[in-house]
Amino acid sequence: MSDGAAVAGPDGRPRCPWGLSAEDYLAYHDEEWGRPVHGDDALFERLCLEAFQSGLSWITILRRRETFRTAFASFGIAAVAEFTDTDRERLLADPGIIRNRAKVDATLANARVLADWSAGELDELIWSYAPDPPLPAPRTTADIPAITDASTALAKALKKRGVRFVGPTTAYALMQACGLVNDHLADCAARTGALTVQGRPGPQRPT
């Protein structure tokens, strides 16, 4: 794994090395990461979780995701926008999530901002920053950027609209996770379509 190239998984198929670095990552890599995510609430969840991940490892968030969903009403924008000070104190006392005051406050504030948007507006805004044409397929993990011009622009656009706690790095992680970019390595089975979920091929983009 040291060179950052694709590595054979337990079924012999090559995968991005990070997808094999912990048992929890395997299903996430194979079934979620890089697959297109649409819908305001679904994207709000990913935006919130990426913000909570800032400064931490993603596996810390992944292992707590169901607890996050319970604590934040499944990340329904309308529901979270109605959270009260009592809810805020509940969240800050919940050991099952990340009890970071700034991140909790940003999540609640962002829900209130987004609740005033039209249906589909968050989805449309985020997906308008998907690169066209798609980015070249990375050969190794060293080829994958932390930020791009598109992620910088997306972060600026969200901030301009009042969304907090989203910078270019968080925006790019969101783009990767939600399929705006396909950063599975060129030889990864998820990119080539050798992995499937419920009969559907994995994400594929021109290489």
- Dump the DSSP string for 43-88: HHHHHHHHHHHTTS-HHHHHTTHHHHHHHTGGG-HHHHHT--HHHH
The total of other beta-carbon atoms located within 10 Å of residue 206's CB is 8
The total of other beta-carbon atoms located within 10 Å of residue 78's CB is 12
Residue 197 banded pLDDT, cuts 50, 70, 90: very low
- How buried is residue 202: exposed, middle or buried, by Cβ count under 10 Å (0-12/13-18/19+)? buried
Residue 195 has pLDDT above 70, yes or no: no
* Domain 21-131+138-185 architecture: Orthogonal Bundle (1.10)
Helix (H) or strand (E) holding 43: helix 40-53
Residue 194 has pLDDT above 70, yes or no: no
Q: Binding-site residues, please? A: 16, 29, 184, 188
Query: Annotated catalytic sites, by residue?
Result: 28, 50, 58
Q: CA-CA distance, 63 to 67, in Å (whole number)?
A: 9
Mind listing the pLDDT tens digit for each residue in 166-189?
Answer: 999 999 999 999 999 999 999 999
Cis, bond preceding 206 (omega within 30 deg of 0):
no
Q: Binding-site residues for Zn(2+), please? A: 16, 29, 184, 188
Mind listing the pLDDT tens digit for each residue in 130-172?
Answer: 999 998 999 999 999 999 999 999 999 999 999 999 999 999 9
Under DSSP, is residue 14 helix (H, G, I), strand (E, B) or coil? strand
